C-alpha cells in the first residue's frame, strides 16, 4: 500500500444518529404526519427507546438536510416541503465510519488495497483514528466484505465485480425476487412506490446526453429494494436487501448503454403499474423478463477469426 496525499476523514455524523434520523422519518411517515407537523422530542425518545440527547442530535441532522426546521420556541417541525415517500437514505450524509468504509471498498475494488490489510495501514493511508477504522471495518464485516484475521489483519472477501459474479447475481435474483412478489403477504409501500415512480419518469425525460448511469443505478437499487422490503417472509426480505447492498459496490453491475437504460426503466414502470393495481403474479412474470433482459451477455473478448469469449477463468499466459 502506498500512503498518498489522502485528505484526512472530515467530521461526519455518527452512525447511531443517522439511524435514529431515518427512524424518525419512518415514524413521521407511518403516522401520516403532514409537512410542518411538530416533532416532539420526548415522544420520539419514548417511541424509539432512547434518551432525548440522541433524538436532539438526529433532529438536528434532519434540519441540516432541510427535512426538518427548528423553531426556538416550538422545537422541531417537519419542513414545509417534506414529501412522505421521499428517499431517506440519499439526502443524509454518511457517517464518518460509513464514509471511510466506502473509501476502503472503493480502493479495494480498484485493487489499490491488497487482499489483506492491517488496521495500522488503514489508519496511515486515510489519516483516520483507530476507533473509526475499527468501526468502518466492522461495517464492512456486517456486509460480509471483510473478515477478521489473526492479529490486526483483516481479509477482504471476493468482491462481486467479475462477469461470473454478475451472472451468479442474476441467477440468484431470478430465484428470489419474483418469489418475493408471489409468496402470500407481499405488501407494497405505496408512498415510496409513488415517489419512486415520479423519479423514474423524471429520469426518462432526460435527453440521451444527460442520462446519468449513476442515477439509473440509484433508482434501480431503490426499485428492487422496494420489492425486497415488501416481502412477507423476513428471511427473503433480508437476503434480498443484503444482496442489493452488495450490488451497489463498485463494479458489481455491468453498465448499460442509453437504449438499455431507458428500456430497463420502462420495464420498472411496467412492473410498478401491476404492483400498484395488485396484479402481483403479472408483476412477478414481468420482473423475471426484466431480469433476463438485464443480464449482460456481452463477450469478454472478440477478435477476427476467433470465437467470442464469455467469462474468463484464469490469467492467460501464466
Which residues are near another protein by CB under 8 A? 1-2, 4-6, 103, 106-107, 110-112, 114-115, 161-163, 208-214, 251, 254-261, 263, 296-318
Residue 139: partners with Cβ closer than 8 Å, 6 or more residues away: 15, 97, 98, 101
Q: Compute the least distance from the CB of residue 118 to another protein, in Å.
A: 15
Q: DSSP assignment, residue 38?
A: B
DSSP state of 143: T
Residue nearer to another protein on the CB measure, 37 or 167 = 167
| Cα separations in angstroms, 69 against 56, 65, 212, 281 | 12, 9, 31, 43
Q: How far is the CB of 116 from another protein (least distance, A)?
A: 11
Whole-angstrom distance, CA of residue 186 vs CA of residue 300: 39
DSSP run (H or E) holding 155: strand 153-156
- Shortest Å distance, C-beta 123 to another protein: 15
Nearer to another protein, 242 or 309 (CB): 309
Q: Which is nearer to another protein, 38 or 111 (CB)?
A: 111
Q: How far is the CB of 231 from another protein (least distance, A)?
A: 29
* 45 grid coordinates: 425518545
Residue 99 Cβ vs another protein, minimum distance, rounded to whole Å: 12
Which lies closer to another protein via its Cβ, residue 138 or residue 256?
A: 256
| Distance of closest approach, residue 259 Cβ to another protein, in angstroms | 5
Q: Which three cell numbers stand for residue 220?
A: 434501480
Cα distance between residue 124 and residue 103, in whole Å: 14
Cβ at position 203, least distance to another protein in Å: 12
β-pairing, 75-78 vs 116-118, is unpaired
User: Judged by CB, which is closer to another protein: 49, or 303?
Assistant: 303
Nearest to 178 by CA among 78, 27, 289: 289
Residue placing its CB nearer to another protein in the complex, 61 or 211: 211
Q: 97 or 107, CB closer to another protein?
A: 107
> Where do we find the cell 403532514?
34
For 271, residues 6+ apart whose C-beta sits below 8 A from its C-beta are 283, 286, 287, 290
Q: Which residues contact 172 (CB under 8 A, 6 or more apart)?
A: 243
For residues 89 and 21, what is the distance between their CA atoms, to the nearest angstrom?
Answer: 10
Nearer to another protein, 34 or 208 (CB): 208
Spatial separation of the C-alpha atoms in residues 178 and 155, rounded to whole Å? 34
In whole angstroms, the minimum distance from the beta carbon of 297 to another protein comes to 3
Amino acid at each position: 500500500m502506498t500512503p498518498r496525499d489522502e485528505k484526512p476523514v472530515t467530521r461526519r455524523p455518527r452512525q447511531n444518529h443517522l439511524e435514529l434520523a431515518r427512524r424518525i422519518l419512518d415514524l413521521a411517515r407511518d403516522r401520516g404526519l403532514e409537512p410542518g407537523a411538530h416533532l416532539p422530542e420526548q415522544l420520539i425518545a419514548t417511541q424509539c427507546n432512547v434518551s432525548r440527547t440522541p433524538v436532539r442530535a438526529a433532529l438536528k441532522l434532519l434540519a441540516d438536510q432541510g427535512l426538518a426546521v427548528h423553531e426556538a420556541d416550538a422545537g422541531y417541525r417537519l419542513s414545509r416541503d417534506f414529501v412522505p415517500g421521499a428517499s431517506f437514505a440519499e439526502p443524509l450524509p454518511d457517517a464518518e465510519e460509513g464514509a471511510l468504509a466506502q473509501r476502503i471498498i472503493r480502493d479495494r475494488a480498484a485493487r489499490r488495497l491488497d487482499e489483506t490489510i492491517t488496521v495500522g495501514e488503514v489508519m496511515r493511508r486515510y489519516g483516520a483514528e483507530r476507533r473509526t477504522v475499527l468501526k468502518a471495518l466492522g461495517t464492512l464485516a456486517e456486509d460480509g466484505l471483510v473478515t477478521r484475521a489473526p492479529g490486526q489483519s483483516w481479509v477482504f472477501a471476493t468482491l462481486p465485480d467479475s462477469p461470473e459474479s454478475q451472472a451468479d447475481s442474476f441467477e440468484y435474483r431470478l430465484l428470489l425476487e419474483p418469489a418475493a412478489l408471489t409468496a402470500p403477504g407481499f405488501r407494497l409501500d405505496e408512498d415510496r412506490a409513488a415517489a419512486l415512480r415520479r423519479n423514474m419518469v423524471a429520469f426518462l425525460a432526460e435527453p440521451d446526453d444527460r442520462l446519468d448511469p449513476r442515477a439509473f443505478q440509484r433508482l434501480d437499487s431503490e426499485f428492487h429494494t422496494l420489492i425486497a422490503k415488501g416481502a412477507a417472509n423476513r428471511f427473503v426480505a433480508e437476503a434480498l436487501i443484503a444482496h442489493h447492498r452488495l450490488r451497489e459496490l463498485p463494479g458489481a453491475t455491468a453498465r448499460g448503454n442509453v437504449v438499455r437504460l431507458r428500456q430497463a426503466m420502462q420495464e420498472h414502470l411496467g412492473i410498478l403499474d401491476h404492483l400498484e393495481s395488485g396484479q402481483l403474479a403479472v408483476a412477478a412474470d414481468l420482473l423475471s423478463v426484466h431480469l433476463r433482459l438485464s443480464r449482460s451477455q456481452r463477450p469478454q473478448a472478440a477478435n477476427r477469426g476467433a470465437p467470442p469469449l464469455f467469462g474468463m477463468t484464469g490469467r492467460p499466459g501464466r
